[in-house]
Amino acid sequence: MDRIIFGDNQFFGVNHMSEEKGMQTMRRFQENSAIIEVLDTAYDLGIRAFTFSTHDRVAQLCDHFRAHPERYADLRLYPAIPYAHKYANAVAEKGILGAIMDVVFTDNTAGAAVGMIARGGSMLMNKDAIELMKLLVDAELKMFRGLRVEVVFLQNVVTDLLLGLGWKEMFSSYAAHIRDRHGAQAGFITLNMPRLVDLLHEAGIENPVVCSAINKAGFQMSPNLAAYEETLRNKPVRALAMSVLAAGALRPADAIEYVGQFDRIESVIFGASSRSHIEQTKKLIDQCWERRACACG
């Protein structure tokens, strides 16, 4: 996986420390051109990997990427599905079944629609939750068609619900579907990495790709910092660290140095909206990983 992955929270008003700051940045990025400007800045600084939710506006960004294949020849995407607010709003407006039908059967080509309707009919007849999962995954990923997708992450709102239910079959089926139908790796975002890693191993997913908040403040890390450190040192996992700055509570240099000590952390995901912050964070990560490589060599 890529060492550095650029996130999209700042574009859509997500700020874990301040809702007001989140709204301020969202207003700044009301136009897609403003988002593209920041993405291009990150790309020109050498970042090639980007994670996106399936917010409706991301479909327009994907159209932009496809329209400029030479500009984004090395672009690698790490989508995170589903976009929970979209489903919540649809359910409130149309009910559960109406929301599912709306998401699954919107904007398909005729041929694809026939296949999905057939699968959807079987799902509705058999009440097959795994088949429903596949339908929704396929619908969510349509916007990334023709682009290079490396890992498809299951958002923590779903991951942690399945974790609480102990639903191993759903995890293994999701991983197989992402691999077999979409040619990518399955990833899982969670607020409880230690427990999730254990369950994924029990589900037969070896060396799973797991994204979680990882920082020395223990911010958004359940059950505690010590459990995370034990997992990162002793259990097979390909970890991606997010919220490494603990929503601004930590100094960037100290925060990066902390996550860099764990060999099982392969990537750092961060978001920024200015060139200076992107450049500074990328430099810190690169330097830390270079020191790590020298120490191992």
pLDDT at residue number 85: 63
What type of residue is 56? D
228/85 Cα distance (integer angstroms) = 29
Q: How far apart are CA 67 and CA 95, in angstroms?
A: 36
Candidate from 57-71, 100-114, 195-209 with smallest mean pLDDT: 100-114
Task: Tell me what pLDDT residue 105 has.
Answer: 57
Candidates 70, 113, 84, 105; CA nearest to 12 is 84
Phi/psi for 242 (5° steps) reads -120, 170
Task: Give pLDDT, residue 106.
Answer: 57
**Which one-letter amino acid corresponds to residue 100?**
I
Measured distance CA(163)–CA(66) in Å, rounded: 36
- Share above pLDDT 70 across residues of the chain, in percent, rounded to a whole number: 80
Q: How far apart are CA 32 and CA 260, in angstroms?
A: 34
Q: For residue 99, give the DSSP letter.
A: H
Q: In this predicted model, what pLDDT tens digit does every residue of 219-247 receive, in sequence order?
A: 999 999 999 999 999 999 999 999 999 98
Handedness of CA 257, 263, 267, 269 (dihedral sign): negative
Does the pLDDT value for residue 185 go beyond 50? yes
Residue 111 has pLDDT above 50, yes or no: no
How high is the pLDDT of residue 113? Answer: 39
Tell me the sheet residues that pair with 242: 213
Mean pLDDT of the chain: 87
Rg (alpha carbons) of the chain, rounded to whole number: 19
User: Residue 124 — very low, low, confident or very high, per pLDDT cuts 50/70/90?
Assistant: very low
Q: Which residues of 226-239 are buried (b: 16+ CB within 10 A; e: fewer)?
A: ebbbebbeebebbb
Residue 46: CA count within 13 A, CB half-sphere: 9
- Tell the CATH topology of 4-296: TIM Barrel (3.20.20)
pLDDT at 184 over 80: yes
Q: Tell me how far CA of residue 235 lies from CA of 37, 154, 205, 260, 265, in angstroms.
A: 40, 21, 13, 17, 12
Q: How many CB atoms lie within 10 A of CB 63?
A: 12
pLDDT attached to residue 98: 60
Residue 150's pLDDT band (boundaries 50, 70, 90)? very high
Q: Is the dihedral of CA 227, 208, 2, 247 positive or negative?
A: negative
Give mean pLDDT, residues 80-87: 76
For the chain, give every domain's residue range.
4-296
For residue 95, what pLDDT is reported? 62
* pLDDT for res 93: 65
| pLDDT given for residue 129 in this prediction | 84
